[in-house]
Structures are given as C-alpha cells and as structure tokens.
Amino acid sequence: MAKLTGFAAKMMADQYKQASINKGYAFFENGDLNLNIIGVRNDSGDASKFDDSINVIYKVDGQWVADIYPVTTEPGVSILKRPLKAVQHKGTAILVPGQYRSTYKIDWHGSSEKGHVALCQRGGKVSVWRDNNRDATPDYHGPEDEGWYGINIHKHRGSDARVNTGGSSAGCQVFQSSMDFAEFMETCEDASERYGNKFTYTLLDERDLNEGICKA
C-alpha cells in the first residue's frame, strides 16, 4: 500500500479526475472523505497475479489524499479454468469497466463462519463478461450480462505473502493484503458516517488512465 499526500496526491487526483471526465463518469470533490474508489485493470491480461490496483482518492481537511492498494480485478486462474458450479453453463464473471453509482454497501461477504465485512454489491446491478473457454487468460469481450452477481470488494483468505491469485476471486475485486483491506474498510466506515452506507465503484482500464494523462 502507498499513501500520497500533498502535491503528489493533487497530481493524482487531477489525473484520475480527467480520466473520469473522459469516460463521462462522476469524480467527487466536495467535502472531506467523499471517496473516489477507482480500480485500474492492468493491460497485461495476467489473471494469476495481484497486478491491478484500487485507488481511493479523497480529501482530508480540504487537502487531497490518495491510497493505492494492490488487488486483482479479474477471476483467478483456477476459477477461469473451472467456473463455479452455479455458472458452469455460462462461464466465469469478469467485471466490465464502468462506473457503478451507489452500488456498494458495507455488509457481510461470504459464509457466516468464514466471511468478513466488505464492500458488497447491494445497491444496484453490475455488468460482466462471461469467460467460458476455460483457459488461463481472461476474455475482455463478448455479450454483457447485467445483474446481481455478488461482485464484491473483499480480501482473500490466505497469507499476506501470497503472490498468485489462485481461486481468491470468482469475479470480485480482491485485495492482496489483509492489512491493506482493514485500512480500506476503516476509511469506508469513516466515510459512511458522513454520507451514508453507499459507495460508488469505478473500474478503468490502464489505457483509460494513460488517456487521462494525455488530455489533462
């Protein structure tokens, strides 16, 4: 995890704001702890690693802060090769880049015994591609399904030293580090006290962010 403050955070906020404007998305600037939760999907197409990021950009005392966390925004390789039983006929879900306004709430993810508090898809539908060729490479194309698929933002259950994604994601946005995730959720809890229990999640492709740099 990296935390930016001062000029570096302001530059990052400007870059992500421009990338959001280019896509016609909202970027929240009014008030402290008005969170921009923005995932960036690496162009590598490698689903085996936590090589994407979730970037939380917000103000504290009127000054920009940016928290950068390593995550995966794709299903793990083992799930791509063997979709969950409930979706074997359709294929594994891959979240389509977009802005999902007020779609996430702080809630319980997973089973009562092994789950944890996370940001859960409770406020609206999301769009996914279905990858059903059962290889190790995620397919970012094809018809889109829109619905309630439990595409949550959570941590994985293994060690923080884990490098490979394995089966940690079946379409969810998954943090590599449980310590990072705890800090992220603390920020979300603080924000919910001001703005209520609803969060917008934006997913960009890496190239969208590069276009943001060019047009800023």
Give the pLDDT confidence of 121-168 residue by residue, as tens digits.
999 999 999 999 999 899 999 889 999 999 999 998 766 767 788 778
Distance CA 22, CA 169 (A): 29
CA dihedral 183, 119, 72, 95 (to 10 degrees): -160
Is the CB of residue 126 less than 8 Å from the CB of residue 151? yes
Rg of the chain taking only CA atoms, in angstroms:
16
CB-neighbour burial class of residue 210 (10 A; exposed 0-12, middle 13-18, buried 19+):
middle
Q: To the nearest whole number, what is the mean pLDDT of the chain?
A: 92
Q: 105: how many CB neighbours lie within 10 A of its CB? A: 17
Q: Which of 14-18, 73-77, 138-142, 212-216 has the lowest mean pLDDT?
A: 212-216
Query: Which pLDDT score, from 0 to 100, does residue 213 have?
Result: 54
CB-neighbour burial class of residue 114 (10 A; exposed 0-12, middle 13-18, buried 19+):
exposed
Give the single-character DSSP code of 165. Answer: -
CA dihedral 22, 45, 170, 93 (to 10 degrees): 60
Give the rounded percent of residues in the chain with a pLDDT score beyond 70.
Answer: 95
| 154 Cβ contact partners less than 8 Å away, ≥ 6 residues apart | 109, 110, 116, 118, 119, 172, 173, 174, 175, 181
Positive/negative CA dihedral, 30, 65, 210, 121: negative
Query: Which pLDDT score, from 0 to 100, does residue 168 have?
Result: 80
